[in-house]
Structure 1
Amino acid sequence: MGLVTLADCRWCAPARPDEIDLGIRIFAGQVSDAYFARRSFVRGYAVVVWRGRHVVEPMDLTIDEASRFHCETLIVARAIRDCFRPPKMNYLTMGNIEPHLHTHVTARYPGDPGDGGPLPAGEPPLLDETRFRRDAAAVRALL
């Protein structure tokens, strides 16, 4: 885990493409972008990325920025919940691999690969492309 500067951070680039290796952008808020992930252990997983200046930790945001980021994360979570109807949602803000503020928003189901605990570490499986695009469009329609 190393320090990332503005010049090194892929999330600080001025362009905000609609599709990247991570997935498809389903939400462009005032302070964040959310990408529906093309790799996932469960159906209904997105990453909400802070769009402002380079920040690694949420505590480095102003109170107003933190409030907006959290609210936009919940907007995305609500759409995932309403689309897939999981009994639980998980939120994970780490940044160990990509040190730029972002929160993983994940639907959780009984019997999923983490059944009762955290999802496994490591790279999740690649989703079926047709289903991935259909699911991303369904969540986007709710946003």
Structure 2
Amino acid sequence: MSGAWPDDWADRIDGSVCAMCRSVRSDEDSYGIRIFSTENVDAVLQRADVQRGYTLVIWRGRHVVEPFELTEPEASSYWQAILTVAKALATFYRPLKMNYETLGNTVPHLHTHLLPRFVDDPAPGRPFPLLPQSGREAQIDPALLASDAAALRALLG
């Protein structure tokens, strides 16, 4: 894939092979633990040891690639969910800064990466070095992840 978009990019864009559309809305999966949900949004605290508190907020309505494809009420509810989750992450983890990354360059389905930034950050003063996940990444200690998820769910309750 280096230097070129994937061969199935058009199918990813139109949603016919969208991994996020096909995924089940469960409280836990191989990627993480759901800490917040609305009718059209899930926030999943990630298992991958990328950064403590790393959370993915996923649009769960119809397949949408870009935020501007949402109706005004949908956009309002999506961004409100992001702000709600980000505030809980900031309250719980007390980071120096929160980052919000709405990319979709690997999975073109609307989702936003919430990344707390800390003193021992891998890239102080620069964008977080977030790479696509393969599923083989080191994982956060399961007990710590479960404890964090329970505390965040209580904050978001």
Normalising by structure 2, report the TM-score. 0.83
| Residue among 95, 113, 126 paired with 1:117 | 126
Q: Does 1:89 align with 2:98?
A: yes
SS of residue matched to 1:70: helix
SS of residue matched to 2:77: helix
Percent identity of the aligned residues?
45
Normalising by structure 1, report the TM-score. 0.91
Task: Classify 1:80/1:121 alpha carbon distance in 2 versus 1 (closer, same or farther; 3 Å).
Answer: closer
**CA shift digits 1:51-91 (9 cap, x unpaired):** 11000100111111111100001111111111111121100
Which piece of structure 1 moves more, 82-91 or 6-15?
Answer: 6-15
User: Based on CA coordinates, which of the two structures has the bigger radius of gyration?
Assistant: 2
In structure 1, runs of 5+ residues without a counterpart are: none
Q: After superposition, where does 1:11-26 map in structure 2 within 5 Å? A: 11-13=20-22, 15-26=24-35
Given that residues 110 and 116 in structure 1 are in contact (C-alpha distance below 8 angstroms), is that contact kept between their aligned partners in structure 2?
no
- Letter of the aligned partner of 1:104 in structure 2? H
Given that residues 27 and 76 in structure 1 are in contact (C-alpha distance below 8 angstroms), is that contact kept between their aligned partners in structure 2?
yes
RMSD after superposition: 1.7
Q: Does 1:133 align with 2:146?
A: yes
In the TM superposition, structure 1's runs of 4+ consecutive aligned residues that sit over 6 Å from their partners are none
Supply the distance in 1 between the matched residues of 2:130 and 2:114 (Cα, whole angstroms).
Answer: 15
SS of residue matched to 1:21: coil
Which piece of structure 1 moves more, 124-133 or 1-10?
Answer: 1-10
| Residue among 5, 8, 11 paired with 2:17 | 8
Supply the distance in 2 between the matched residues of 1:111 and 1:17 (Cα, whole angstroms).
Answer: 32
The aligned length equals 143
Q: Does 1:58 align with 2:67?
A: yes
Task: Classify 1:108/1:129 alpha carbon distance in 2 versus 1 (closer, same or farther; 3 Å).
Answer: same
Q: After superposition, where does 1:7-46 map in structure 2 within 5 Å? A: 7-13=16-22, 15-46=24-55
- Letter of the aligned partner of 1:85 in structure 2? R
